[in-house]
Structure 1
Amino acid sequence: MNTTVKALALAASLLLSMTACNANATSSGTEQVKKAFTTRFPNRQVLSVSETPVQGIYEVVVKGKQIVYTDAAAKYLFVGDLIDADAKTSLTEKKMADLNRLDFNKLPLQYAIKEVRGNGSRKLAVFTDPDCPYCKQLERESLPDITNVTIYTFLYPLAQLHPDAPRKARQIWCSKDRLKTWTAFMRDGQELTGSDKCDTSALDKIEAMGDELGITGTPGLIFANGRLVPGAIAKEDIEKLLDAK
C-alpha cells in the first residue's frame, strides 16, 4: 500500500508540474529524454533513462526508486506496471527488484537477533515490528518449518503505526535471552514482562539503517543474493528465494 501511495503521489506531482513547464525535445535518445524530463520536472532527480520494448516509450527512474514511463518528449507519463503479455511477467517488478538489491554482507549483523537452524547455510535477514500482525503471520506460518538457515532478526518498530512497539522492542533487546524472548512473544503469544532499561543504541542504529535502505514497512526480508522482498510471503516463496543465486 505504501508503494501505491508513493506512486500516486509522484504521478500527481508530475502532472501538476506539466501545466507550468514546456520542452521541445523530439529526439528518441535516452540522453535527450533525460534532458526533456529534467526540463519539465526540475525538482525530480533522474537516476536513469532506458528504452523499453515498447517503441517510443522510455523508463525513467527518479530519486526515491520511483519508476515512470514517458514518451521521447516527456509530454505523456504513466505510473504502473509494464507487462510482457507473452512472458506473463511484469517488467516493472523486475526493475524494482534490481533497484532494491542490497549487499547482504554489509548489513550490521551484530545488531540482529541470530537464529541458526540445521546447518545454517542459507541466510535471511528480517526487519520486523513486534506489534505488526503481518510480522507475526510470517513468524507463525511461513518461517517455522524452514531449516538449514540462519535468520537475522532486526527489531524495526514503526511507532507511527504501532505506538507501543518501540517499548516492546526495547524489552526484547534488554532480555537475557533475546532469541528465546522473541520466539516466545512472536510465535507463542507469551506476554513480555522484562525491563526495557538497558543500552538500546543498537535499535537506533537499526532504525537509521532501515531508513537508509528504504524499508518503509514490515516485515522486510533480505536474502543473501541482495533481494529485498516486503510482506509476509509464503514458505514456498521463501524457500525459492533462499536458494536463488
Structure 2
Amino acid sequence: MDLKQCMAGLTMAVTFSMAGLVVAQTPQEVAIKKLVEPRLGDGVKVDSVTKTPYAGLYEVRVGSEVLYTDDKAQFLFIGNVIDTRTGANYTRARVDEINKIKFSDLPLEMALKTVKGDGKRVIAVFEDPNCGYCKRFRQTLAGMDNITVYTFMYNILAEDSTVKSKNIWCSADRNKAWDEWMINGKVAPNAPANCVTPNEKVLELGHKLNIRGTPAIFFMDGTRVPGAMDAKALEEKFASLKSGKAN
C-alpha cells in the first residue's frame, strides 16, 4: 500500500472514529501535531501525538490508526513496531487498546441472541448476511457449547443485505432463520411491509465503532477481533479472559 492509499484509508477511519479522552500534551507533542497534520492530506485530523518509550518515535493517532514520526515530523513511519527481544507487537497492542469498547454499552436489544449450554462465555458479532467469512464463523459457533452470541446484522456488502436481514428479523424465529440462511443457505420468507427493523441503527452503530469489515467479534473485556476465528483461537481467547491475561 502506498502513502496515498494509506491516507485515503485514514480519512475513512477519521470519518467513523470515536471521540477519545482529552489528554494534556507536551509543547513538543503539540508542535509535532501542527507540523504533521497538514502533511497527511485533506480531511485527515490528528487526534493525538504522544512520545513513545522506544527509538525516539512519536505516536500519531488518527482515529483508530497509529502512525509514527520523528521529533521534527520529517519522516512518517507506517507499520508495526515489534520488540525483537520478546516478539511483542507494540503497535497492535496500542491499536487494540484504542479499539476497546464498553461491552455493556452495546444495544443488545438490536441483536439476535443465541444461548447454548450455560451461556457463560459471551460475545457480540457484527455480520453481513452476504459475508462468506461470517458463514464460516457461524459454522464454528455451531460446534461450540456454553456460549451466548449476540449477532448484529450489519449490512455493508451488498444491496440485498438489508433485505435479507429484514426478512430474518421479521421471521417468527429469528435465530433459526439466521442459522438456516448462514449455515444451510435457506432463504427466509419475505417480511411484511410494515415490519420495523433496527437495520439503520445497527449500521450507524457499526460506523461509530469503526467496523469496516465483517465479521467483527467483541468480547466481554471490550476487545475486538476483526475477521473470523477458528474454534482453537476462540477457545484460547476465552481461556485468556478467564485467566485474566491479555490476548
Task: Sort the TM-score into its range (normalised by shorter chain).
Answer: 0.7 to 0.9
Instruction: Please tell me whether residue 240 in structure 1 is matched to residue 236 in structure 2.
Output: yes
Cα distance in 2 for residues equivalent to 1:153 and 1:12:
27
Q: CA deviation at 1:114?
A: 0.4
Cα distance in 2 for residues equivalent to 1:157 and 1:7:
28
SS at match of 1:67: strand
Q: TM-score, normalised to structure 2's length?
A: 0.82
Q: CA deviation at 1:173?
A: 0.6
Q: CA deviation at 1:5?
A: 8.6
Equivalent position of 1:151 in the other structure: 149
Structure 1 pair 201/191, CA: closer, same or farther in 2 (3 Å)? closer
Structure 1 pair 119/227, CA: closer, same or farther in 2 (3 Å)? same
Aligned residues: 224
Equivalent position of 1:102 in the other structure: 101
Structure 1 pair 11/132, CA: closer, same or farther in 2 (3 Å)? closer
Cα distance in 1 for residues equivalent to 2:152 and 2:189:
20
Instruction: Please tell me whether residue 202 in structure 1 is matched to residue 203 in structure 2.
Output: no
Identity %: 35
Structure 1 pair 196/124, CA: closer, same or farther in 2 (3 Å)? farther
SS at match of 1:45: coil
Q: Which amino acid aligns with 2:153?
A: L
Q: Which amino acid aligns with 1:213?
A: L
Q: TM-score, normalised to structure 1's length?
A: 0.83
Cα distance in 2 for residues equivalent to 1:61 and 1:196:
46
Map residues 1-245 of structure 1 onto 2, 5 A cutoff: 8-10=5-7, 30-42=26-38, 44-62=44-62, 64-140=63-139, 142-158=140-156, 161-195=157-191, 197-243=193-239, 244=241, 245=244
CA contact (8 A) 1:33 1:73 kept: no
Instruction: Provide, for residues 9-33 of structure 1, a one-character-per-residue CA deviation record: whole Å limited to 9, x for no partner.
Output: 328999xxxxxxxxxxxxxx95413
CA contact (8 A) 2:81 2:89 kept: yes
Q: Which amino acid aligns with 1:145?
A: G
Q: Which amino acid aligns with 1:33?
A: E
Structure 1 pair 99/209, CA: closer, same or farther in 2 (3 Å)? same
Instruction: Provide, for residues 44-87 of structure 1, a one-character-per-residue CA deviation record: whole Å limited to 9, x for no partner.
Output: 4333333334332121212x212111100111111111111121
Equivalent position of 2:18 in the other structure: none
Q: Which amino acid aligns with 1:70?
A: T
Cα distance in 1 for residues equivalent to 2:151 and 2:184:
17
Cα distance in 2 for residues equivalent to 1:219 and 1:107:
16
Q: CA deviation at 1:145?
A: 2.1
Cα distance in 2 for residues equivalent to 1:12 and 1:131:
23
SS at match of 1:239: helix
Alpha-carbon RMSD across the aligned residues, in angstroms, is: 2.5
Q: Which amino acid aligns with 1:126?
A: V
SS at match of 1:157: coil
Unaligned runs of 5+ in 2: 12-24
Q: Which amino acid aligns with 1:120?
A: G
Q: Which amino acid aligns with 1:59?
A: E
CA contact (8 A) 1:139 1:187 kept: yes
Structure 1 pair 135/196, CA: closer, same or farther in 2 (3 Å)? farther
Q: Which amino acid aligns with 2:83?
A: D
Cα distance in 2 for residues equivalent to 1:125 and 1:13:
26
Cα distance in 1 for residues equivalent to 2:2 and 2:137:
24
Flag as ranges the 4+ runs of structure 1 deviating above 4 A: 4-7, 11-14
Q: Which amino acid aligns with 1:36?
A: I
SS at match of 2:198: helix
CA contact (8 A) 2:33 2:49 kept: no
